[in-house]
Chains A and B, each alone.
Chain A
């Protein structure tokens, strides 16, 4: 069984991103970039499926500028067998990413496509579901457990208030949530080996997809600042303030 796993190059999760002073965009100059944390979980899950003998091949795919090859190399170092880059510069909307991934799905014919549930830059949480609709595949979003069984996969999903399990016909889409697994660190020998693994590059034209724009970012701004309050001496003062000043408890 072939597994396709999508990865995105995003700002490292430790970076506190700010809006540029003129409000035109976020300031990403000289900011550390990394593989999106949920995508890292997706790669780990695919590699574990291979180690368990369920998957035979893991193909990592990324849609982005040439620099995203760095994140594909990370995926290869973590255990993916080969990589595919769809080269696009600038911001690509989730719908277009889903169309490009559909193109790759048609070329690769994977039985399972694993993606992160959302990327920590746009916070959209859309691409996996959109790919599901475009390919008419079933989806197990926000997965905390994935079990492949013959021609179907059982996915346990994180939902409001608890967990839900669904059974999906293969080929299917899985999007990862935090508790699915804990990604490994790439070892130095594996990082070296990853440099020699194959990486193919396609353009949107190769996949017959037009990079369209549906949404314009008009401006960006910092959120309303919250004023720091006061420090209180002890619990008694705290309770007094909450009762008599903030009036939030009776």
Chain B
């Protein structure tokens, strides 16, 4: 058994999501190779080599891979996949973009967002917004898998000493190019990596009112999220959305403010260790999953909470 992991990185550093993929690969068993495809990505490759459990790091350092264009990276991964039984990646937006292309090039299915490894060919994954958990068995000789980060603990980032090898093959499909990126710069932790998340919903009423969450987030070192209702209403950008079609989070503490608790939202946060709900509607479904519910008007409760912590 051997597994190739497509690393999530920004050339300078390896993203924590990759560590969850390493844990999933460890459960599959056998040799683990991490592919770092990028441009001037040596720093990320060195970090991958230090991850406990990784045997080998392949570095494909070329301008064609600089921005993780799916058309180019998928060709590289499909070529390298010949030598491995499994190809896996954490289910980030980048891997979701690339991996199905890899699977199609290999003429195999992709198993999306697994939550557990039951055996070498059998996995559990959520369907219908997590209302149902399916156990699925793959009959493909080579498996392409994405891994739900919140379901697998991070492998230790230190302690490994993998060999690093350069990959020289260059695939430039020449059909797509990178134009630009607007990535929100924030001092707050990333939503999917934060140990505390505070999210606002339609009850926030407008985008300005999300500032009421800022002070609490600063004090708790929390990331700020939102429900789809708040995103649809234009209060906040889409990258803050927690839910079935947004980010899946499982922090130690999740505080839902003015969120009714639609099943699509619950799908994105119900694995949190402790859930707090603040809502003025005492019948809101969010209270059915909350460890601590506070029936209150958020506009008075939030300043009080900020003062009390």
Q: Check if A166 sits within 8 Å of B184, measured CB to CB.
A: no
- Which of the residues B96, B136, B228, B237 comes within 8 Å of A216, measured between beta carbons? B136
Interface residues of B in 192-247 (CB under 8 A from A): 192, 196, 220, 228, 231-232, 237-239, 241, 244-245, 247
Q: Which of B100, B177, B288, B291 has the most CB of A within 10 A?
A: B100
| Cβ-based interface call for B135 (8 A) | yes
B111-135 vs A, Cβ < 8 Å mask (1 yes, 0 no): 1110000000010001111111111
Query: In the complex, are the beta carbons of B132 and A17 less than 8 A apart?
Result: yes
Q: Does B187 contact A (CB under 8 A)?
A: no
Q: Is A246 an interface residue (CB 8 A)?
A: yes
Chain A residues, Cβ within 8 Å of B113: 123
Nearest-neighbour CB distance to chain B for A159, whole angstroms, equals 5
The size of the chain A interface, using a CB distance under 8 A, is: 81
| Contact yes or no, B180 A16, CB < 8 A | no
Of the candidate stretches B33-41, B163-171, B293-301, the one touching chain A is B293-301
A245 to B271, CA, bound (A): 19
- Majority-rule SS of B interface residues: mixed
Q: Does A124 sit at the interface, judged by CB under 8 A?
A: yes
What are the residues of chain A within 8 A of B103 when measuring CB–CB?
A: 95, 126, 130
B66–chain A nearest beta-carbon distance, Å: 12
Is A164 an interface residue when CB atoms closer than 8 A count as contact? yes
B133/A222 in contact, CB under 8 A: yes
A166 vs chain B, min Cβ distance (A): 6
B178 touches A166 (CB 8 A): yes
- Given A16-B131, A220-B132, A249-B220, CB of A239 within 8 Å of CB of B309: yes
A69 interfacial by beta-carbon distance below 8 Å? no
Contact, CB under 8 Å: A144 / B111: no
Provided the pairs A178-B245, A226-B270 are in contact, do residues A231 and B295 lie with their beta carbons within 8 angstroms? yes
Q: How far is the CB of A229 from chain B (nearest CB, A)?
A: 4
Docked-complex contact A221 and B308, CB < 8 angstroms: no
Q: Report whether A167 and B176 are in contact in the complex, using a CB–CB cutoff of 8 Å.
A: yes
> For B296, what are the chain A residues with a Cβ–Cβ distance below 8 Å?
234-235
- Say which one of B55-63, B68-76, B154-162 lies at the interface with A: B68-76
Chain A binder among B44-52, B79-87, B137-145: B137-145
A164 pairs with B178, CB closer than 8 A: yes
A70 within 8 A of B: no
Decide yes or no whether A34 CB sits under 8 A from chain B: no
> Number of B residues whose C-beta is below 8 Å from A?
92
A138 at interface (Cβ–Cβ under 8 A)?
yes
The stretch among A48-56, A74-82, A114-122 that forms the contact with chain B is A114-122
Q: Give the distance in Å from the alpha carbon of A242 to the alpha carbon of B309 in the complex.
A: 10
Q: Would you list 27 pairs from A and B whose C-beta atoms are within 8 A, ordered by A residue?
A: A11-B128, A17-B131, A120-B128, A120-B244, A125-B112, A129-B98, A132-B104, A137-B175, A138-B173, A141-B96, A142-B93, A158-B238, A159-B93, A160-B192, A160-B247, A161-B239, A162-B239, A166-B69, A220-B127, A220-B133, A223-B132, A226-B288, A229-B291, A238-B305, A246-B274, A249-B196, A249-B220
> Could you tell me which A residues sit within 8 Å of B by CB distance?
11, 13, 16-19, 26, 38, 93-95, 98, 117-118, 120-134, 136-139, 141-142, 144, 154, 157-169, 172, 177-179, 213-223, 226, 228-232, 234-236, 238-239, 241-242, 246, 248-249
Give 17 A-B pairs besides A126-B100, A164-B182 with Cβ atoms closer than 8 angstroms. Answer: A16-B263, A26-B128, A93-B109, A123-B112, A130-B104, A139-B71, A139-B176, A160-B94, A161-B184, A163-B183, A166-B177, A178-B245, A214-B138, A226-B288, A230-B292, A242-B253, A249-B309
* Leading 9 A-B pairs by shortest Cβ distance: A229-B291, A129-B100, A214-B109, A162-B183, A133-B104, A130-B104, A126-B100, A138-B176, A138-B175
